[in-house]
Structure 1
Amino acid sequence: MLHLFQNLEYEILLKKLTILGLAQFQEDFYIFKKLPIHF
């Protein structure tokens, strides 16, 4: 039972990190698009 709980906790942590990572990426991308220089 403990192993199952640890697994669930890990999945939640991973999801949180993924969501945070995506939010950060979108923010960076938005700033990048606003720059006057386009590559």
Structure 2
Amino acid sequence: MSLLIILPKSDRMIFNATRNLMGIKVVTADSLNVLDLLKYERI
């Protein structure tokens, strides 16, 4: 399973909590791109 988490602004706590979990990517809304939207199963 793959998961893309989109945040309105950068949140270091969420980034640190998810950085070691495989298949999870955290991005801010301003850095979101189409490739990420197509790559991840769940948003």
TM-score of the superposition, structure 1-length normalised?
0.26
Structure having the higher strand fraction is 2
1 or 2 for the larger relative contact order (CA 8 Å, sep ≥6)? 2
State which structure, 1 or 2, has the greater radius of gyration over its C-alpha atoms.
Answer: 1
TM-score of the superposition, structure 2-length normalised?
0.24
Structure having the higher helix fraction is 1
